Amino acid sequence: MTTALVKPTAERAAWLGTAERGTLLGIRVVFWMATVLGRAPTRVLVRLIALYYTLFDRPARTASRAWFRVVHGEEPTWGAVYRHILRFSQVTLDRIFLLRGRTSGFTVTRTGHHHLTEAIARGRGAVLLGAHLGSFEAMRAGADQDGVPLNILGHFKNARMINALFEQLDPGKAARVIHIEAGSVEFIFKVQERIDAGELVAVLGDRTGLNEKTVTVQFFGRPARFPVGPFMLAAVLKCPVFLTFGLYHEPNRYDLSCEPFADVVVLPRKQRQAHLEELVQRFATRLEDLCRRAPDNWFNFYDFWRDASPVVGVAPLLPPRDGDGVG
């Protein structure tokens, strides 16, 4: 395993700088259908959107095929690729209802939720570490229902249009979004304030950004680069780290899970690299377990095992969740 400083390649610059594909009008059409007609009619439109992109978006289709070849060890069918893109679109659509607090139509299961409530009861802030797997919005909705103060940390430059519309649905959530700006460390102080106040800060740990240190570990038996930023941040904050995920299952079920990862992250100066490698490998191993449980919930539509940028905008009316967390 190796640690490296990622160069600001053209591919990576394209990811963080790429605007959402699709039009604001198209996105508003989906919003209108969801809010006026409800979830069931809008899901019909989403199926058409997913079909369009399965047919005509070659990069997304190629990425999906590559993913299933790794997970299953065989060539996927066209239907499997379609369902993969459809699952992404369905989860993104559900964000509208979850942000509005319209959760009565969903079945939500929880495993390990007591870890968060106990941390909050002790007045101890924590970092929630997730990935682009399933629905982060489902977890945030669950936290809102329980009155758990949850903040979101991440890059949001390439998802401003969709995030602006989501903020219209619930303006209060905008105050709990912490933006990472290139070349600035101001976000660290904001995160420290939230942690000191006994709140939770969520970050996604499966994508790398510009000039970001990474560790190469084994993921599905292949070397893959993961960012070390979330772990270094946790070491500075000296707070617990929990792994949190929200897996989606047809037609309306979200399985939320939370499990302890580290009570505190310690990175001794002389053994920092070895400790980072061990931490990231543990994360990657657990992430792999969850991916095997729901492979169609994997929403990184790019070759994860290469130094390339994600495909931003699989569905024009339902932009990807790249703004949900770091990387």
- What is the distance, to the nearest Å, from the Cα of residue 301 to the centroid of all Cα atoms in its chain? 12
Tell me, what's the pLDDT at 235?
95
Residue 4 is predicted with a pLDDT of 45
State whether the Cα torsion 240-241-243-244 is positive or negative.
positive
CB 89 within 8 A of CB 49: yes
Do 287 and 219 contact (CB within 8 A), yes or no?
A: yes
Structure tokens at 126: 């924590």
The domain limits of the chain are: 3-324
Q: Alpha-carbon Rg of the chain, whole angstroms?
A: 19
Q: In one letter, which amino acid is 21?
A: R
Give the pLDDT of the chain (327 residues) as one tens digit per residue.
Answer: 554 444 434 443 333 333 344 555 667 788 888 888 899 999 999 999 999 999 999 999 999 999 999 999 999 999 999 999 999 999 989 988 888 888 888 999 999 988 988 888 888 899 999 999 999 888 888 777 777 788 989 876 655 555 666 666 666 665 578 888 777 788 999 999 999 999 999 999 998 865 678 999 999 999 999 999 999 999 999 999 999 999 999 999 999 999 999 999 999 988 999 999 999 999 999 999 999 999 999 999 988 998 644 444 443 344 344 444 443
CA dihedral 136, 138, 142, 148 (to 10 degrees): 20
Q: Which of 129, 127, 155, 115 is nearest to 237 (CA)?
A: 127
Q: How far apart are CA 268 and CA 62, in angstroms?
A: 42
The per-residue pLDDT for 236 is 95
Q: Are 109 and 254 in contact (CB under 8 A)?
A: yes
Q: Looking at residue 122, what is its pLDDT?
A: 87
Residue 311, phi then psi, degrees to nearest 5? -85, 105
Task: Report the candidate in 222, 203, 210 with the shortest Cα–Cα distance to residue 303.
Answer: 222
- pTM of the entire structure? 0.85
* Nearest Cα residue to 302 out of 2, 10, 9, 12: 12
> What pLDDT does 170 receive?
64
Q: Which amino acid is at 139?
A: M
3-state helix, strand, coil in the chain (%, to 5): 50, 20, 30
Residue keyed to tokens 């302890």: 260
Tell me which residue has tokens 């002790």: 122
